[in-house]
Structure formats: C-alpha cells, structure tokens
Amino acid sequence: MRALLIILGCFLAACNEVSVDAINAPLENKIGDALRGEIIFAAREGGHCILCHQVESLTAEFQGNVGPDLTYVSSRLTPAQMRLRIVDYDSVKPGTTMPPYYRKDNLNQVGGDYVGQTLLSAQDIEDIIAYLASLKESG
C-alpha cells in the first residue's frame, strides 16, 4: 500500500512538472515593445523566426512552415508560456528544431566570442512576446 502511494505521489508530481510550463516574470524585468518585436520577428538576420513561422498580417514574403502558424498563437498560449518556449523550447519538447533563444549553457555549435551569449537579448524576447500577444485571437 505504501509503495503504491509513493508511486502515485511521483506520478502526480511528474504531472505537476509538466503543467508548470511557463516563465511568469519578464526577462530582466524588461518591458516589451510590440512594434519593435514585429521587426525582430521578421528580420532574417535577427530573430529569423520567419524562417520557420508565418503570421498572416505580416507582408514579408517567403514565410517558413517548419514551425506552426503563429497568427493566432495568443489564443493558444499565454505570454508566460510563449516566454518559456522562446527561451528554451527544448525544456518543453526535447529534440525540437526550435532554437533556444535565451539559454546560456549547453549550446552546441557555438564557439569563441559567442560562448555564454544568448541568441537574442532579454529585451528582444520581451518585444517579440508583446508582438505575438498583440495579434488577434481567432474568430
């Protein structure tokens, strides 16, 4: 009986971990600017989010489709959930092709000056979140 309770307890704890899938506080307390976020989202040498994602209202050509369409992402994810996914999607879904934009350790394929640097700054990420959160909900 005791063993069963322990197993059940672990199971519930594991479920809990999975449901904690957000970073609630803005990175470095930065305040996001949606207009700047749109520019970073679409910049091919910046966030290059657009290489893999589409947003209907963007006029940019050649939007990618490796990742999901983000036109209505604000009806699926809270800003806090978006934050975790942009920071380190691998922690939500190990092995994903979405790059970790704000993870300072375990980055493969970096060397020299880039060690310890994140792909985007805290401000960039907060701007992108403000932009995605400002997109219309479906309907």
Binding site for ligand HEC (CB under 6 A): 41, 47-49, 51-53, 66-68, 70, 73, 76-77, 82, 85-86, 89, 93, 96-99, 101, 128
Indicate the burial class of 136 (C-beta count within 10 angstroms; 0-12, 13-18, 19 or more): exposed
Residue 96 CA to residue 100 CA, distance in Å, equals: 10
Q: Which is nearer to ligand HEC, 116 or 127 (CB)?
A: 127
Q: Tokens standing for 91?
A: 């922690």
Q: Which is nearer to ligand HEC, 32 or 99 (CB)?
A: 99
State in angstroms the smallest separation of the CB of 41 from ligand HEC: 6
Q: Tokens standing for 5?
A: 């309770």
Q: Which is nearer to ligand HEC, 97 or 115 (CB)?
A: 97
Instruction: Spell out the SS3 assignment of 43-56.
Output: CCCCCCHHHCCCCC
State in angstroms the smallest separation of the CB of 7 from ligand HEC: 30
